[in-house]
Amino acid sequence: MNQQRLLERFLQYVQIDSTAVEESGNYPSSPGQIEIGKLLVEQMKTMGIADAVQDQWGIVYGTVKGNLPDAPVVAFNSHVDTSPETTGKDVKPNVIEKFDGQDVCLSGDPTKIISTASCPELAEAKGKTIITTDGTTLLGGDDKAGVAIIMEVANYLIEHPEIERGDVRIFFTCDEEIGHGVDHVDLEKVNATVCYNFDGGGQGDIDEETFSADMAVITFTGVNTHPAYGKDKMINANRAVGHFLAALPSELSPECTDGRDGFLHPYVLDGGVAESTLKVLIRDFDTSKLKEHATVLEQAATLVESKCPGIQVNMEIVQQYRNMADGLVNEPRAVDFAVEAHQALGRSFKRTIVRGGTDGSRLTELGLPTPNLSSGQHNIHSPLEWACLDEMIAAGEVGIEIVKRWAKA
C-alpha cells in the first residue's frame, strides 16, 4: 500500500466541503458532494478504471477488473458526505508524524484539546501518523477516510495484476449522515455477491450487528388564542408535549442505556401553541422490540389526551433501517472472510455491535450483505476529530486480503 498517496488523497478530500444539509430537499443535499464525486471519477479513470461514472444522484461507481471471471464480485463502499453536526467548510487538516502520544492542542482554537484522558486511543497512536483538525471544523474522516482507503485499495489492485481476484466493484454514496445514503443506489449496477462498508472507528473492528431503527413523528394539535383571553379557550400543544415527555420511562432513554439495550430518544421538537411536532428515534437490536417501544409511545399519547382535554395526538411510525445481523445470517462468509483476513495479517480484531446504523444496514436489508469495517476514525462529528494514517493503511490491507479470500470461494 502506498502510504503517501493515501495521505495525499485523504487531505485533498477533507478540504472539499461536502457537509450534508438535512433541510435541503435535494439529493445530494449539498454541491460539495457532486464536486468530490467528480474528482473521484477523474482519479479512477486516471488509475485505469474505464467504467468510472457519477450518476444523476451523485453516486460514483467503478470496477477494478478481475482475472477470475467465475469468482464472486466483491464490492467496497463508503460515503462522501460529512456530518452537519459540525461545519466541514474550510477544513485545515494538521498532519502529525511520529506522534508523541500526548494531548494535542489544536492550532485554530487553543481551547480545543484532544486529550488522552477523554480519548484513550490517542495514546495508543504514539509513533504513528495522525491527522487532526485545527479545532474550528470537523475533519471529515467520517467517511473520507473510507473513501481514501478504497481508492488506495483499487490503485493497489490495478498495480498488482498478479493478485487473483474476481471483479471488485467500488461505489461511493451521498447523504449517509442524514439517513439517505442508500436511497438511490442501483444494486443491479453494483451486481455483487457481498459488500464491505469502510465506515468504522479505529482498527480491527468487524461490525456485524447494528440497531434496527424506526422514527416516530408525533403531532400534537391544540387551539391557540391570545394569552390574555386564553381561559377555557386555549389548548396548548407545547404543554401537551411536556406531559408526553414526562410519561416516557427514563430507563428507555439513551442516557440510561448501553450495550444491547434499546432506547426511545426524543430529538427534534418544533412548533407552537396550536401545533407541535416531536420526533422520537426508536432503536433496538431485536427488531421485534420496535413494536413494543412504539406501544410505549402510544400509551403516553393516550395519557396526554386524558390529561389535556381537547388535545389531539397523532403518531406516524417511519421505518428507517434494520439490524444487519438479520441479513448477514444468509451469507456467513461475509464476516468469516473478514475474520480470516485479519488472521492472515496477524492482526487482532473484534466482532462488534454498533449502537447506530450504517449504509451497510440498508444494503444488507436490500439483499447485499454488507458488514462494516474500521477505517481509522476517532472523535467523529466533532472539532476534536482525528484520524490515524497507519490504521487507514491497515484497513486497506484487510480489504486486499478479503478480495483474495473471495477469489477462492
Q: Clarify whether 176 is annotated catalytic.
A: yes
Q: b vs e for 184-221, b when ≥16 Cβ sit within 10 Å of the residue's Cβ?
A: bbeeeebebbbbbbbbbbbbbbbbbbbbbbbbbebebb
Q: Clarify whether 209 is annotated catalytic.
A: no
Q: What are the angstrom distances between the C-alpha of 237 and each of 223, 247, 269, 310?
A: 8, 15, 11, 10
Short-list 278, 264, 180, CA closest to 214: 264
Phi, psi of 238 (to 5 degrees): -65, -40
8 Å CB contact between 264 and 250: no
Q: For residues 301 and 308, what is the distance between their CA atoms, to the nearest angstrom? A: 10
Cα dihedral angle (278, 211, 358, 404), rounded to 10 degrees?
Answer: 180
Which residue among 17, 81, 167, 397 is the active-site one?
81
Q: How many CA atoms are closer than 13 Å to the CA of 355, on its beta-carbon side?
A: 11
Which residue among 17, 143, 175, 176 is the active-site one?
176
Cell numbers placing 365: 436489508
8 Å CB contact between 129 and 7: yes
Residues known to be catalytic: 81, 176
